[in-house]
Amino acid sequence: MFKKVHLLVLLSASFLVVKAQEKIPFRITKHNNIIVKALVNDKDSLDLMFQIAMEDASISPERKRNADHIIFKDKVSENNTVKIGKFTLKNVVFSDNELTGHEADGKIGTQMFKGKAFKIDYDNNQFVIYDKMPDMKGYESTPLFSEYGLFHIVADNVIDGKQQEVYFLMQSGYSGGLLYSNEFSDKQELDKKLKVTGEKTLRNSAGKSIVTKQGVLPFLKLGNTVLKDVTAGFFVGDLKTQTTNYFGADVMRRFNWIFDADRKTAYFKPSKYFSEPYYLIK
């Protein structure tokens, strides 16, 4: 009798662990963007790019699929239902006419995980949503600075043999590795100190130029983990439009991430992409 009761308790406990998490499948494009298949308002089938640097959702003017059942007023649509796999999200707000990544009809942000810990599992192409924090064995941690739905982390950059602490915005919509702000680029003279592998010049209607350059950062240190020869973009020229340092999708995918429910700590460990060749912006 005891053995039967004991077995029942174990089975019940296992069931509770399974029910304490939800999984959302995704795919990764060749541009490092995460795409989820979504059914919006039970009518519109859309491919949405996950954007960690936003909370709500948006629809692109360049979408390939119809979004006729998302009703906009002043370019905003409220109270939408989004189904992704077995997961249903209600009261989703969509913005209209926002550009998104390749192969996507729009974007969806971190509202999917509101109030919960969640994992970006690049090894298994899925998000995992937790009611309680999972076993963190094998993970390092770093402070997460969350404000207005934006996630920032700090990483050490080795430039010209010197270590510089840099405050990065996590930006899964940017396909490349790192992208530096104009302020940091100018102050650190990246044009002189980084090996430059490519550049492109654009001009606006007033004839002012912006030059985008791709360089190589010798070392990027996150916690005790070191990435070598990381692609790093920066701008030079008349226009100073880049105000934030980006921790882009190509470096994000090199780790599996877990974010606590309070958004104060990010946990990470190398993923299967850790040693993959770096993505080159064209």
- Per the structure, the count of domains in the chain is 2
Which of 110, 130, 150 is the C-terminal boundary of a domain?
Answer: 130
pLDDT of residue 185: 95
Residue 100 β-bridge partners:
none
Are residues 86 and 25 located together in one domain of the fold? Answer: yes
Q: Is 111 part of any domain?
A: yes
Are residues 182 and 113 located together in one domain of the fold? Answer: no
Range of the domain at 42: 20-130
128/20: higher pLDDT = 128
Q: Is 76 part of any domain?
A: yes
pLDDT of residue 1: 44
Q: What is the pTM of this model?
A: 0.89
Which of 130, 155, 177 is the C-terminal boundary of a domain?
Answer: 130
Are residues 158 and 79 located together in one domain of the fold? Answer: no
Q: Is 12 part of any domain?
A: no
Question: Which tens digits make up the pLDDT trace of 224-269?
Answer: 999 999 999 999 877 778 999 999 999 999 999 999 999 999 999 9
Are residues 217 and 118 located together in one domain of the fold? Answer: no
d(CA 238, CA 204): 10
Question: Which tens digits make up the pLDDT trace of 196-208?
Answer: 999 888 776 666 7
d(CA 279, CA 260): 29
Q: Is 277 part of any domain?
A: no
pLDDT of residue 6: 44
Residue 148, number of CB atoms within 10 A of its CB: 6
d(CA 164, CA 221): 10
* Backbone φ, ψ for residue 16 (5° rounding): -65, -40
Are residues 165 and 207 located together in one domain of the fold? Answer: yes
Are residues 264 and 191 located together in one domain of the fold? Answer: yes
Contacts 24+ apart (CB under 8 A), 131-137: 131/20, 131/21, 132/20, 133/258, 133/260, 133/261, 134/21, 134/258, 136/258, 136/267
d(CA 271, CA 249): 13
Are residues 108 and 187 located together in one domain of the fold? Answer: no
pLDDT of residue 267: 98
15/107: higher pLDDT = 107
Are residues 30 and 149 located together in one domain of the fold? Answer: no
